């Protein structure tokens, strides 16, 4: 089925629809050997060969899903202005253009999804769907139940009050504590800001579950492919 080219590019996970329009007007999109510069042009991703900057894109019918255990010291981005390693550098022998869904801080680790399915990425990220994210969090000090209570009811941050979080104690040492935290928001540095607000800065952060996807036995830097058939179970 013919679709506007900027939508095809966005659904392939290359960039947003608005930025795809810029790619088109800059003459960086080619369909069947012909440069397309007119917005509103259409194509069929199952029939036409579409390239961006000389690289073929993956049509809407060829979805790819990768679950990766992101190690510390990697950026969840396609490119980094500071030339730090990105999660894309960890994906080998896969000639498909994918992008990371959401973010994990440079010094955080754990499960992250990479895909070229813009629609599914939207479902995982949009607050309306309330997709949960679960973390193991090591914090400085020994918070008690009273200290943690505001996190369970919602705490005021600079960008508004948080939704109630599920928080439980996992382990303690003489100086630090481990907690399990589940939130349904994807705000920037949310977990770190929540614990800083109650006086217990985060020392280590590991995401152990993203929506329906657990970290499981994946070691840092390892990844697995998820079939479109399994993904369909989580698309409603």
Pair 87, 185 in one domain: no
What is the set of active-site residues?
105
Q: For residue range 68-108, list pLDDT tens digits in order.
A: 999 999 999 888 889 999 999 999 877 777 889 988 999 99
Domain boundary among 37, 56, 75: 56
89: domain CATH number is 3.30.70.580
Confidence at residue 59, expressed as pLDDT on a 0 to 100 scale: 54
Q: Residue 234: pLDDT band by 50, 70, 90 thresholds?
A: low
Angle at 111 between CA 110 and CA 114, to 5 degrees: 130
Which residue, of 19, 37, 56, is where some domain finishes? 56
**pLDDT, tens only, 4-55:** 998 888 877 778 888 899 999 999 999 988 999 999 899 887 678 888 998 8
pTM: 0.75
Q: Looking at the 3D structure of the chain, how many domains does it have? A: 3
Give the length of the chain. Answer: 236
- Specify the CATH number for the domain of residue 34: 3.10.290.10
CB 207 within 8 A of CB 108: yes
Its domain, for residue 192, covers: 132-210
Tell me, yes or no, whether 145 and 204 share the same domain.
yes
Q: Are residues 7 and 37 in the same domain?
A: yes
Retrieve residue 184's tokens.
């349904």
* Residue 201 contacts residue 230 (beta carbons within 8 Å): no
Q: Are 209 and 134 in contact (CB under 8 A)?
A: yes
């Amino acid at each position: 089925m013919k679709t506007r080219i900027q939508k095809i590019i966005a659904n392939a996970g290359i960039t947003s629809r608005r930025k795809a329009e810029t790619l088109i007007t800059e003459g960086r999109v080619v369909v069947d050997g012909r440069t397309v510069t007119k917005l509103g042009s259409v194509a069929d991703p199952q029939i036409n060969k579409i390239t961006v900057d000389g690289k073929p894109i993956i049509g809407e019918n060829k979805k790819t899903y990768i679950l990766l255990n992101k190690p510390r010291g990697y950026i969840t981005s396609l490119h980094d202005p500071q030339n730090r390693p990105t999660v894309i550098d960890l994906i080998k022998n896969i000639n498909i253009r994918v992008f990371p869904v959401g973010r994990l801080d440079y010094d955080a680790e754990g499960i992250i999804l990479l895909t070229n399915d813009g629609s599914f990425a939207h479902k995982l990220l949009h607050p309306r769907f309330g997709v949960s994210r679960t973390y193991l969090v090591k914090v400085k000090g020994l918070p008690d139940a009273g200290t943690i209570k505001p996190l369970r009811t919602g705490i005021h941050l600079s960008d508004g009050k948080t939704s109630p979080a599920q928080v439980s104690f996992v382990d303690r040492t003489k100086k630090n504590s481990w907690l399990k935290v589940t939130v349904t928001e994807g705000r920037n540095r949310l977990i770190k800001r929540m614990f800083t607000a109650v006086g217990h800065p985060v020392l280590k952060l590991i995401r152990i579950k993203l929506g329906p996807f657990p970290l499981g036995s994946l070691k840092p830097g390892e990844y697995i492919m998820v079939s479109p058939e399994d993904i369909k179970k989580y698309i409603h």
